[in-house]
Homo-oligomer: A and B are copies of this chain.
Amino acid sequence: MASQYPPSLRICLPLFLLFLEVAFILLFSFLVSYDYDPQSIQKGVTVYPEFQDVNIMVVLGFAFLLASLKGFGFSSTGFCLLLAAFGIQWTVIVNGFLFHFSEGNIKMNLQRIVEGLVSLTTVLVSMGAILGKVNLMQLVWMALVEVTLFAVNRWVAVTVLQIESYTSLMHVHLFGALFGVMASWGISRSRQESRPEKEGSNPVSDTFAMLGTLFLWAFWPSFNAILITQRKAKLAAIYNTYLGMTASAVAAFAISVATSRHGKLTMAHIRNATLAGGVALGISASAIHYPWVAMAVGLAAGATSVLGFVFLKKNLEPAVRIHDTCGVLYTFGLPSLLGGIAHVIWIVIDSQENLSAGGYSALAEGGALCLSMAIGLAGGLITGFSLRLKLWKEPPVTQYFVDQTYWEFPHFAVGY
C-alpha cells in the first residue's frame, strides 16, 4: 500500500527507551526518597480521590480525545500511555530538582505526582498538533525537552516574577498548544503533501473520541482545583469551572450550528470547544467571586474555540503553512489566552483600593503569560527542527496517520 517503507525502529527505540529508563532508575536511587512527613501523609490521603480524577483525565481522557483519527487509534492511545508513563518520571526529577531540592534529596509525595501530571499535560496537548507525523522516538524526545522547558519557564515565573506556583502550572494549555503548533511547523515546513483522506475520522473513532471528551468535561473541575489547598478557594475553583464548562458546551453547540452551511453540528467542534470553558478558567478559577462571571467566560471561550476552528483552521493554517492535527490551538491555545488576559484584567479591577500593588501583580501575571508564550513558541520551534535530525528515523509522509507504520496488524484491516 505504501510506496516507501518507514525505517525500522527495532534497534534504536528499545535502546533509547531502556537507556532512559535505567538512567531514571539511577537518578531516583540517588536523588529521590519518599516523604512520610505527617502533614504530607494527611495531604496525600485527602487529595487521593481528586488525584485519580486527574490521572484518568491524563491517561484516558486525553488519549481517547486524540483517538479521533480513524486509522490511528492504537498510536493515539498507546503513545499517550507511554508518554504519560515516561513523562511522569522525568517531571518528578525536573520539578523536584528545580523546586523541592534540599540536602541533595528530592522528597517525593502525592503532591509531586500531581504536579507532574499537570506539567505532563503540556506534552499531551502538543502531541495533538503533531500526532501522526512523528514516530515514538521523536515523541519521547519532544516530551523530555518540553517538560524540561516548562519547568524552567515556571522556575523563572515563580522565582523572578513572584507568580504563585499554582498559577504558573495552569499555563500548561497555552504553553503546550503553542509549543505543539511550532513543533509541527518545524517538522513539516518543507513538505506539504496533505493526505486528508487518511487524516479524517470515522463514526466509530469519533465516538471513542467523544468518550475522551466526556471524561475530560466531567473531571475538569478536579483538574482546576487539585493544586489548591485552601478549601474555600478549592470549592470556588470547582464551582466556577463546572459552570464555565456548562456555558462553553452551550456555546459550542450554538456556534457550531450557526457557522455550518446546512445548520448542522460538526463533531470536531463539539468534542473540543465544550472543553474550552475549563481551559479558559484554568488560571483564574479560584479567583472569580460570582457564578455569572465564570459562565460568561465559558461562553466566550466556547465561542472563540469554534470560531477558531471554522475561520483560522481553514484560512490561517494554509497561509502560514501550519498543520495542527487535532486543532490544539483552538481547543487549548486560544481559550487559555483568553482566560489569561481576563485574569490580568480582573487583577486590575480587583485592586481599586491598592492600585500600585494591583498594578505590579497584573504586570507580573501578564509578564508570566508572555514568558510562557515566548518559551513555548521558541522551544517548540527549536524542538521541531531538532525532530528532523536523521537519528530519529522519521517516518516518510506516505506513512503519516497510519497505525500500520508502528504496529503489527495481524488482522490486515486498514483503519477501523
* A contacts, CB < 8 Å to B: 8-11, 13-14, 17-18, 20-21, 24-26, 28-29, 32-34, 36, 41, 44-45, 48-50, 52-53, 55-56, 59-60, 63-64, 67, 70, 73-74, 77-78, 81-82, 84-86, 88-89, 108-110, 113, 136, 200-204, 206-208, 210-211, 213-215, 217-219, 222, 231-232, 234-236, 238-239, 242-243, 245-247, 249-251, 253-255, 257-258, 260-267, 270, 274, 289-292, 295-296, 299, 403, 406-411, 413, 415-416
Contact = CB atoms under 8 A, between A and B. Distances in A.
Contacts of A9: 257, 263
29 contacts: A10-B258, A17-B250, A17-B253, A18-B254, A25-B292, A25-B295, A25-B299, A28-B292, A32-B292, A33-B290, A34-B236, A34-B291, A36-B236, A45-B234, A48-B49, A55-B218, A59-B217, A74-B203, A74-B207, A74-B267, A77-B207, A77-B210, A78-B253, A81-B217, A85-B249, A201-B411, A204-B416, A260-B408, A266-B407
A81 B249 contact: yes
Nearest to A248: B85
Contacts of A203: 73-74, 403, 409, 411, 413, 415-416
Given A32-B291, A78-B253, A78-B267, 7 more contacts: A10-B262, A18-B251, A28-B290, A49-B49, A67-B207, A82-B249, A211-B211
Nearest to A71: B203
Contact of A81 (B274, B406, B416): B274
A291 B33 contact: yes
Given A78-B210, A214-B81, A254-B18, A235 B110 contact: yes
Contacts of A55: 218
Contact of A406 (B33, B211, B264): B264
Contact of A52 (B25, B108, B218, B255): B218
A45 B204 contact: no
Given A34-B236, A204-B416, A257 B10 contact: yes
Contacts of A215: 56, 60
B218 A14 contact: no
Contacts of A74: 203, 206-207, 210, 265, 267
Contacts of A85: 245-247, 249-250, 274
Contacts of A246: 84-86, 88-89
B8 A262 contact: yes
Give the residue among A108, A258, A263 with the most B Cβ atoms within 10 A. Answer: A263
B408 A262 contact: yes
A289 B257 contact: no
Given A74-B206, A246-B85, A254 B17 contact: yes
A258 B52 CA distance: 32
Given A82-B249, A263-B13, A63 B411 contact: no
- Shortest 9 CB-CB contacts between residues of A and residues of B: A10-B263, A85-B249, A8-B263, A29-B292, A14-B258, A49-B49, A17-B254, A85-B246, A14-B254
Give the residue among A24, A242, A264, A270 with the most B Cβ atoms within 10 A. Answer: A264
A135 to B, nearest CB: 10
B50 A50 contact: no
Contacts of A24: 295
A413 B411 CA distance: 18
Contacts of A264: 406-408
Nearest to A58: B218
A249 B52 CA distance: 18
Contacts of A10: 257-258, 260-263
Contacts of A250: 17-18, 20-21, 82, 85-86
A259 to B, nearest CB: 9
